[in-house]
Amino acid sequence: MEFLFYFGDVFTPFNFGLLLLGTVFGLIFGATPGLSPTMTVALAIPFTFKLEPAAGLILLGALYTSTVAGGAVSAILLRIPGAPANIATTLDGNAMAAKGEGAKALQLSFLASLVGGLLGVFLLIAVTEPLSRWALAFGPSELFWIAILGVTIIGSLDGGSLVKGLLSGCIGMWLATIGFDDMLGAQRFVFHPSLGGGINIIAALIGLFAIPQVITMFAGGRVDAAAEVIKVQKHRISDAIRELMRRKRAAGIGTIVGSIIGLIPGVGGQIAGLVAYDQAKKLSPERDKFGTGHSEGVIAAESANNAMVGPSLVPLLTLSIPGSPTAAVLLGGLLIHGIFPGPDLFVNHANVAWTFINSMLVGQILMCVIGLYISGVAAKIAQVPKHVMAAVVLALAVFGSYSVQTSMGDVYVMLSLGVMMYFLERFGFSAAPLVLGLILGPIAEENFAQGAMIANATDGLGPYFLTGGMNLVLIALVIASIAYSAWMELRSRRYISKEEIIQ
């Protein structure tokens, strides 16, 4: 309960002002496509040079928590996931916005973020020590199986066909191989200088989700634009809270999955939302509604990606190992003030460490309050005529993909992937499995290659990948997940064939 003693430091006028500033800017940057949490925090580091250590970290902590939540805004309203964390949010969130329920989707996403975020930070406060050992339990073989487990959820991300889902997953994995391979020192499929660094995940996300929609909107022309203006329904915050209470299961699954996965160095943040979405869908009686604008989808995804924020800092704060790119940037923010994270961080720099953690708690609440306040207004974006909207989204997509690495190459990649996705979507493929392949492919490959090198030098491939408690548990989960998908597929197929017989 030591953290309570340091709450006063958060509420000094100057620090609280910084916290408010960080939250507002974080929401804005998070909602801007291409400005990922990592980049926002990195850009803010120079501003902390002149601040006191605690004040500087308050700013960084507030920015981190609110950019993760702010990413939901563009995911829901524009169908542009600001970061990999928000992919799952687009699936149901954007469908809700299209039905005119944008305000409800935004309110739920901010509330779910608050629930997940608070619990995640409490977890960080309460059980830091055991958690740090858990974070280290994942070696190359375990991470390889985690990535494979991630691939098995492809089936539930694509509402239509399992085969098409798997196929787009494969396309994603192939795209991920492009570029220079650091493990073997070889160049693969680099047929244009823009691809030298591989396909940037954020540029790809923007292209795959936003561009097909832009093309569809342009294809509609502007004659009938006035005819189908969406009526944006008002939604009371109290109703949103009641809705969240009714969807306890989704919020619970999101929070638990997010916290556990967030701990795994290098993997967590990217897939927490997707895995939580998948689990919430499998365990929900209304699983058929997922993907059509179902509130549980938004709640699970958003509670997971904010629940991951606290635990993702555990390896950094206890072992001095940054477990995610954002944590690496925060490490820079600590070092600049001469603070070395490690087991004695909470002894040597108690006021700074606890003030930082407290600022994330208060930041979560501020983020939620401000987010709820803007939800109603922001949802009106859906009323913008489609041809205008298409132009705005296109401009944001180009700006966003350029700003990731200040490179025109990323813009070309974004546009070509977007056009490709437009045609794929017309043939019934969807973007989410493709993106999952793009994210998990390199994780699986890298850890397999690394594991294989270690295995060949020590006990051999079989024992390395197939023995050990954690490996066996993960393999069992992979088999269960595949069996479940196969069973669901067979069941629905039998159902259809019966119908056909009747006809």
Partner 1 sequence: MRNVIAGAALALMGMTGAALADGHANYPDRPVMMVVSYGAGGATDFQARIVTMTAGNEDALGMPIAILNKPGAGGRVGWNWFATQAEPDGYTLSAYNVPHFIAQSIKGGVEYSTDSFEPIANWGADPAVFVVAADSPMNSMTDVVDFAKANPGKLTFSGAGLFVGHHIAALQLEKAAGVKMAYIPTKGGGAAAMKAVIAGDVMGGVNNLSDAFRAREAGSVKILGVFDLERNAFMEDVPTLMEQGFDVDNASVNFRGVMVPKGTPQGIIDKLAATVPTMFENKRVAGKMKAGGSPMHIMNREEVQAMWAKREETLKELLAGL
Question: Considering only CA atoms, which of 370, 270, 360, 259 is closest in space to residue 312?
Answer: 259
Identify the bridge partners of residue 187 per DSSP, sorted by sequence position: 180
Q: Is 302 in the site for partner 1 (CB under 8 A)?
A: no
Asked whether position 453 contacts partner 1 by CB under 8 A, the answer is yes
Does an H or E element contain 139, and which? none
389 or 417: whose CB is closer to partner 1?
Answer: 417
> How far apart are the two ends of the chain, measured CA to CA in Å?
67
Nearest-Å Rg of the Cα atoms of the chain is: 22
Of 1, 226, 458, 500, the residue at the interface with partner 1 (CB under 8 A) is 458
Q: How far is residue 432's CA from residue 81's CA, in Å, rounded to a whole number?
A: 11
Rounded to a whole number of angstroms, the minimum distance from the CB of residue 449 to partner 1 is 9
DSSP H helix total and E strand total for the chain: 24, 2
Q: Which is nearer to partner 1, 5 or 49 (CB)?
A: 49
For partner 1, the closer CB: 42 or 276: 42
**Using an 8 Å Cβ cutoff, are 210 and 397 in contact?**
yes
C-beta of 183 vs 391, nearer to partner 1: 183
Say whether residue 319 binds partner 1 (CB under 8 A): yes
In this structure, are residues 176 and 150 in contact, taking their beta carbons and an 8 Å threshold? Answer: no
Is 351 an interacting residue with respect to partner 1 (CB under 8 A)? no
Instruction: Give the footprint of partner 1 on residues 321-350 (CB under 8 A).
Output: 321-323, 325, 328-329, 332, 335-338, 340-344
Residue at token pair 């008002």: 234
Q: How many CA atoms lie within 13 A of 63 on its CB side?
A: 28
Output the six-digit token pair for 479.
Answer: 């088999």
Q: Is 446 in the site for partner 1 (CB under 8 A)?
A: yes
Q: Which of residues 75-134 bind partner 1 (CB under 8 A)?
A: none
Candidates 27, 35, 39, 393: give the one binding partner 1 (CB under 8 A): 39
Burial class (CB in 10 A: 0-12, 13-18, 19+), 16: middle
Our finding on whether 466 is near partner 1 (CB under 8 A) is no
By C-alpha distance, which of 129, 139, 137 is closest to 318?
Answer: 129
| Span near partner 1 by CB under 8 A; candidates 36-44, 225-233, 304-312, 379-387 | 36-44
Q: What's the CA gap between 104 and 109, in Å, rounded? A: 8
Cα(211)–Cα(88) distance, rounded to whole angstroms? 17
Q: Which two tokens stand for residue 36?
A: 């990922």
Residue numbers 416-445 binding partner 1 by CB under 8 A:
442
H-type alpha helices, 99-236? 102-126, 128-136, 140-152, 154-157, 162-177, 201-219
Q: Which is nearer to partner 1, 396 or 455 (CB)?
A: 455
- Least Å distance, CB 175 to partner 1, is 15
- Residue number, 25 or 422, with CB nearest to partner 1: 25
Q: In this complex, which beta carbon is closest to partner 1, that of residue 343 or of residue 385?
A: 343
Scanning 177-185, 209-217, 246-254, 426-434 for contacts with partner 1 by CB under 8 A, the matching segment is 177-185
Instruction: Tell me: does residue 189 bind partner 1 (CB under 8 A).
Output: no
Kindly tell me which of 29 and 429 has the beta carbon lying closer to partner 1: 29
Q: Which residues bind partner 1 (CB under 8 A)?
A: 38-39, 41-43, 45-46, 49, 136-140, 179-180, 182-185, 187, 193, 196-198, 200, 265-266, 315, 318-323, 325, 328-329, 332, 335-338, 340-344, 405-407, 442, 446, 450, 453-454, 456-458
